[in-house]
A and B are shown apart, each in its own frame.
Chain A
Amino acid sequence: MRQWLNDRMDLDAVVSFAKKKTVPAHRHSVWYYFGGVTLFLFIIQVVSGILLLFYYRPGEDTAFESIRFLMSKVHFGWLIRSVHSWSANLMVLAAAVHMFSVYLTRAYRRPREITWVTGVLLFYLSLAFGFSGYLLPWNELAYFATKVGTDIAGSVPFVGGPIMELLRGGEQVSGATLSRFFGFHVALFPAIFTVLLAIHLLMVQRQGMSSPIGEEKNPKARSIPFFPNFFLRDVLLWLIVLNILAILAVFFPWELGVKADPFAAAPAGIVPEWYFLFMFQVLKLLPAHVLFLEGEVFGVLLFGTAMTLWIFIPFFDRQSQKGQRGRLFTIIGLAVIIFILFFTILGWVML
C-alpha cells in the first residue's frame, strides 16, 4: 500500500522533508506558535461555517429567523454558532499576535517578503470576514454597524461613492446588502483566502523558520526538530485553545439580539467589534475638520495609507535586509502597538 502510494505521490520526499525541518530554539521561541494557532482557528471557522450553512437562509425576511431557529430548535445549533463567533474573534487576536511578533523579530526580512505580504493580506481579509459576517444575522447592531462601516468606505474621495454602492448593492443597506455580504463571506473571501494561505504556508515550508537577527549569528544557536518535538507542542497548544474556545462558547453564548428594522432608530450603546474599536475611537475623536478635509475623510485616508504601507514594510526596512538590527522599525512597531492598545482601551472605557 505504502509502496503503491509512494510510486504515485513520492511520499518519501515528504517524510524526509519533515525529518529535516527544525525550529530554532531561543528565548523568543514562544512566538512561533501563534501562526499555528491562527491556522487551527481558521480550520475551526471553515468547519463550523459549513455547518452553519446547512441552516442559514440569507435574506431580509429569513436570515434572522433562520438563526433563531438554529439556536432554539436545532440540536447544538447555539453551540455551533457560538463557536463560529468566538473562534472568529480568537482568530483575529491570534493573527494579530502572530503578525506583530513577526514584525518585531524582523522575520519579514529578506528573503521572506512574500510571506509577509501574503500574511498581511490574510490579516486584512480576516477583518473583512469579520465585517461581512457580522451583518449576516440581520440584527439591529449588525444593521447599523454595516451602515456606519459602508458609509466610512463611502467617505473616501472620488472612489468612495461607487464603492459604497458596490458594497451595499444599492443606496441603502438592505436585503441586497445582505446578499452581497453573504456572497463575500462564504464564497469570494474564502476563495482568495485559500490561495493566499497556500502561498503563505508554502513559503514558510520552503524557507523554514526565521531566526531573530541576533540569534542567527549566535554560534551556540540551538534548534529542535519540528517532528515530533515542535509538532507535539503545537498540538498541545491547539488543545488548550480548543478548551478556551469551548469555555467561551458554552458559558458566554453569542447573543442574537433584536431583528433589524431599517425604519427604527439606532439603538443606544452601539459599538463595533473590538478589533475595529480603536479606529472607531480615533474617528470619533477627530475634529470635524482637519486641514481642508472633513475629519472623517482625513481619518479614513490616514488609516488607509497606514494599512497600505504596512504591507510593504519589508521593502522599507533596508537595514534588516542586510541583516542588521535597526532601532527605527522597532520604534515604529511599538508605536503602532501602543497606539492601537491605547485607543482600544480608551474606546472601551468611553463606551
Chain B
Amino acid sequence: MSDSVSPTRRRTLIWLLRTSGTALFAALVYPVMAYLKPPKVTGDAVSSVRVGAIDDFTPASGTLFRFGNRPGILIRYEDGSFRAFSATCTHLDCTVQFKKDAGIIWCACHNGKYDLNGRNIDGPPPRPLDEFDVIEKGGEVFVTEA
C-alpha cells in the first residue's frame, strides 16, 4: 500500500489532513468560546439613581441601595452631609455594611474594615471603596458615577 503512494503525495495528503483538522477544530472552538462569554446586557449600566428623600436618612447612618446591578452604600454623617460608595468590598467582592457602634464600614466575609470615608483601615481589603458622587436636589438624594 505505502509503495503505491509517492512520498510527495503522501506529504501533501498529510498536510491537507492536518490543516483541515486544525481548521475544523478552530471552527468548533471559536463559536463555543464566544458562546460561553455572556453578552453585555444593556440596562445593567446606570449612571444615576435616586436613593430617597433627604429626610429618610438619619444623621450617622449608612444605607444600602441599588446602583444598577451593584450595591452601593450611602453614608450620612453627623453633620448631615452625604457621601456614597460602592458597597462591594475591594477584597473579594462581599457586600459591606454600616456598623453604627464602631463607626465604620464593615465587611463580614474576612473582617475587613473601612472608615466612614471609605478608606481601608484594617483587615484584608487592599484599596478604599470606590466612591460615587452625591447630589442633593429638591429634597432628594441622587447618586451618580464619579
Binding site for B on A (CB under 8 A): 144, 147-148, 150-152, 162, 165-166, 168-174, 176, 262-270, 284, 288, 294-296
Which of chain B's residues 68-88 have a Cβ closer than 8 Å to chain A? 69-71, 87
| Contact between chains at B66 and A263 (CB < 8 Å) | yes
On whether A284 and B92 interact (CB within 8 A), knowing A174-B69, A266-B97, the answer reads no
| Contact between chains at B95 and A265 (CB < 8 Å) | yes
Binding site for A on B (CB under 8 A): 36-38, 41, 44, 64-66, 69-71, 87, 89, 91-97, 107-110, 124, 126
Of the candidates A162, A172, A262, A266, the one having the most CB atoms from chain B within 10 angstroms of its own CB is A266
A269 to B87, CA, bound (A): 18
Partner of A148, one of B41, B66, B92, B96: B92
| Contact between chains at B92 and A266 (CB < 8 Å) | no
A288 to B95, CA, bound (A): 20
| A contact residues around B87 at 8 Å (CB) | 265
Name the distance in Å between B68's Cβ and chain A's nearest Cβ.
10
A169 to B38, CA, bound (A): 5
Name the distance in Å between B114's Cβ and chain A's nearest Cβ.
13
On whether A170 and B66 interact (CB within 8 A), knowing A265-B108, A266-B109, A269-B108, the answer reads no
A166 to B91, CA, bound (A): 20
Q: Taking CB as reference atom, which chain B residue is nearest A172?
A: B69
On whether A172 and B64 interact (CB within 8 A), knowing A151-B93, A265-B95, A266-B108, the answer reads no
Name the distance in Å between B93's Cβ and chain A's nearest Cβ.
4
Partner of A268, one of B38, B41, B64, B108: B108
| A contact residues around B108 at 8 Å (CB) | 265-270
A144 to B34, CA, bound (A): 27
A174 to B110, CA, bound (A): 22
On whether A270 and B109 interact (CB within 8 A), knowing A166-B36, A170-B38, the answer reads yes
| Contact between chains at B94 and A147 (CB < 8 Å) | yes
Name the distance in Å between B143's Cβ and chain A's nearest Cβ.
14
| A-B interface, 6 closest residue pairs, ranked by CB to CB distance from nearest | A265-B97, A266-B94, A151-B93, A266-B108, A148-B92, A151-B92
